Structure 1
Amino acid sequence: MNCEPESNKGYCHCCRQDTIFTAYGDWLRDTYICEKCGSLPRQRALQHVLDFFISDWTSLSIHESSPSNDFISRWCNNYSSSQLLDGVPLGFDKDGVRCENLENLTFADETFDLVITQDVMEHVFSPQKAFNSILRVIKQGGAHAFTAPKHKGLLTSYPRAHVVDDDIFHLHEPIFHGNPVGDGRALVTWDYGDDFERLIMKWTGSPVRTYCIRDRLLGLDGEYLDVFVMKKS
Structure 2
Amino acid sequence: MKAKKRAIKYLMADSFYFKQKGYCPCCDKDVCFESRSSWLRDYFLCNNCQSIPRERALMLVIEKYYPNWKDLDIHESSPGNRGASLKLRNNASKYLASQYFPNKPLGTKVENWLNEDLEQQTFRDESFDLVITQDVMEHVYNPEKAFFEISRTLKKGGAHIFTVPLVNKHKKSEIWATKDNHGKPIFINKPEWHGNVVDPNGSPVTMHWGFDIVDFIEEKSGLKTIIEHIDDLKYGIRAELIEVLVSQK
What is the TM-score with the length of structure 2 in the denominator? 0.89
Contact between 2:24 and 2:56, CA under 8 Å: does it hold in 1?
yes
Separation of aligned partners in 2, 1:40 and 1:4: 17
Separation of aligned partners in 2, 1:152 and 1:32: 23
- Aligned with residue 12 of structure 1, among 1, 16, 24: 24
Instruction: Please identify, of 28-37 and 196-205, the stretch whose mean Cα deviation from structure 2 is larger.
Output: 196-205
The equivalent residue for 1:182 is: 199
The equivalent residue for 1:61 is: 73
- Aligned with residue 191 of structure 1, among 208, 231, 237: 208
1:95, CA displacement in angstroms?
Answer: 2.5
1:169, CA displacement in angstroms?
Answer: 2.4
Unaligned runs of 5+ in 1: none
The equivalent residue for 1:40 is: 52
Separation of aligned partners in 2, 1:45 and 1:125: 26
Tell me which amino acid in the other structure corresponds to 1:175.
Answer: E
- 1:79-123: per-residue Cα shift (whole Å, max 9, x none)? 110100142100011232111000000011111111100000000
Separation of aligned partners in 1, 2:242 and 2:16: 25
- Point out the structure with max Rg over C-alpha: 2
Tell me which amino acid in the other structure corresponds to 1:37.
Answer: C
The equivalent residue for 1:214 is: 231
The equivalent residue for 2:41 is: 29
Contact between 2:168 and 2:209, CA under 8 Å: does it hold in 1?
no
- 1:33-65: per-residue Cα shift (whole Å, max 9, x none)? 000100000000100111122231121010100
Separation of aligned partners in 1, 2:150 and 2:141: 15
Unaligned runs of 5+ in 2: 1-10
- Give the aligned length: 232
1:140–1:153 distance in 2 versus 1, CA, 3 Å: closer
- 1:111-164: per-residue Cα shift (whole Å, max 9, x none)? 111110000000000111000101111111111100000025551001111124
SS in structure 2 at match of 1:8: strand
Tell me which amino acid in the other structure corresponds to 1:25.
Answer: S
Separation of aligned partners in 2, 1:183 and 1:49: 30
Runs (4+) of structure 1 moved beyond 4 Å?
none
1:223–1:35 distance in 2 versus 1, CA, 3 Å: same
Once the two structures are superposed, the pairs formed by residues 133-172 of structure 1 within 5 Å of their partners are: 133-167=149-183, 168-172=185-189
Contact between 1:134 and 1:144, CA under 8 Å: does it hold in 2?
yes
Separation of aligned partners in 1, 2:236 and 2:111: 35
Separation of aligned partners in 1, 2:172 and 2:16: 40
1:170–1:103 distance in 2 versus 1, CA, 3 Å: same
Is 1:112 the counterpart of 2:124? The answer is no
The equivalent residue for 2:90 is: 74
